[in-house]
Amino acid sequence: MSEPRLDVAMQRPGAHVVGEIDGNPVVESAAPTENHAPRTPALELRHVTKIFTLPNGKQTTAVRDVTLVVEDVAERGEVVSVLGPSGCGKSTILNCVAGLAPHHPPTTGEVLVRGEHVGGPSASRGMVFQAYTSFPHLTVLDNVAFGLRVRGMERDERHAKALDWIGRVGLKGHEHKYPHQLSGGQQQRVAIARTLACRPQMILMDEPFGALDPATRREMQELLLSIYRDPAIEVTILLVTHSVVEAVYLSTKIVLMKPNPGEIVKLWDLAPPSHSFEETRTQPTFVKLVAEIESRLRGRDVDA
Ligand SMILES: Nc1ncnc2c1ncn2[C@@H]1O[C@H](COP(=O)(O)OP(=O)(O)O)[C@@H](O)[C@H]1O
Ligand SMILES: [Mg+2]
């Protein structure tokens, strides 16, 4: 197999090829129980269980025994999509990786990013939320430079860096505008540029494009692709989405969860798309995979 990440995926127990998209195999496997990767993974969840205690004293298990390994492939980014019915623990997993309470720390189990234990929030794991989170009183330039300012970078240097990121997310010419002067899609671009400017190892996105119209959403998907194709960036993107088509198009790994309590039931490893969305989405394996995941989500018969 030409794609290094798929060679690694094929080494997992039970891994098998279910078809091809853009000429590259799609590898299906069951949830792993341990790390088989030869290198330190980009992200590893080891038997993560989260039990919340409600104010009435009752306990609810948000996720149970979740083990996930995102293998590191040299000089390549990843887009890992987490799919599952509402309430299955997607946000719990994302926030455990972000190090954000009350989801973090897990009740039992461990979260490691590039081999390091996640003990709390860090700028090396940037969050991008659905709601626009820019500072309304700061220009695009100052919003994107914000994290660099916090780090003590001097003005000229941080502005030069911020301008570079503003260009990469397609906002050149907008640097002196304020967030309210931008469209929803442009505001999401600001949030992404601000996160990227801090050179994170991971970008965590919880339904980031849910509030955007379909055309803008497509543009943002292409932006994500350009980010993880860029060898200078090499970032792992963890994306929670409700759109199965979006997940199958964008992802190099799809994680399917089942509800109550959340567990991973299946994984698919894919090559990044090399054709346009229009060409990719009509291919038989793409159509079949979308249909399979959607029917599993609808029927909730996700116990394969
Ligand atoms: N802060 C919390 N306190 C108590 N229960 C919570 C809390 N956050 C989430 N849960 C519960 O954990 C489960 C998983 O929630 P969540 O991770 O938000 O699911 P998803 O993002 O997949 O919709 C749900 O049953 C939810 O009610
Ligand atoms: Mg959620």
pLDDT in tens, 88-104: 999 999 999 999 999 99
pLDDT of residue 75 exceeding 80 = no
User: Is it the case that residue 1 has pLDDT exceeding 70?
Assistant: no
Pocket perturbation via mutation, ligand 1, pick of 51, 52, 96 by most ligand atoms within 8 A of CB: 52
The alpha carbon of residue 1 and the mean position of all alpha carbons in its chain are separated, in whole angstroms, by 25
| Overall pTM surpassing 0.95 (yes/no) | no
* Domain carrying residue 262: 4-121+233-299
pLDDT in tens, 46-67: 999 999 999 999 999 999 999 9
Instruction: Say if 79 falls within a structural domain.
Output: yes
Q: What is the CATH number of the domain that holds 101?
A: 3.40.50.300
In-domain check, residue 90:
yes
Q: What is the mean pLDDT of the chain?
A: 91
Instruction: Indicate if the pLDDT at residue 304 is higher than 50.
Output: no
Beta-bridge mates of residue 82: 240, 255
> How many Å apart are CA 12 and CA 292, to the nearest integer?
21
102 lines ligand 1 (CB under 6 A): yes
| Biggest CA-to-CA distance, the chain | 56
The reply to whether 200 falls in a domain is no
Residue 162's pLDDT is 97
Buried-state track 243-254, b at ≥16 Cβ within 10 A, e below 16: bbbbbbbbbbbb
Answer yes or no: is the C-beta of 89 below 6 A from any ligand 1 atom: yes
In-domain check, residue 139: no
User: How crowded is the C-beta side of 269, counted as CA atoms within 13 Å?
Assistant: 27
Q: Is residue 261 part of a domain?
A: yes
Flag whether pLDDT at 199 surpasses 60.
yes
Ligand 1 near 92 CB (within 6 A): yes
- Count of structural domains, the chain: 1
253 against 32, higher pLDDT: 253
Of the pLDDT bands very low, low, confident and very high (cuts 50, 70, 90), residue 301 is: low
137 versus 212: the higher-pLDDT residue is 137
Whether residue 84 lies inside any domain: the answer is yes
Give dist(CA 167, CA 64) in Å, integer. Answer: 42
Q: How far is the CA of 54 from the centre of ligand 2 (A)?
A: 18
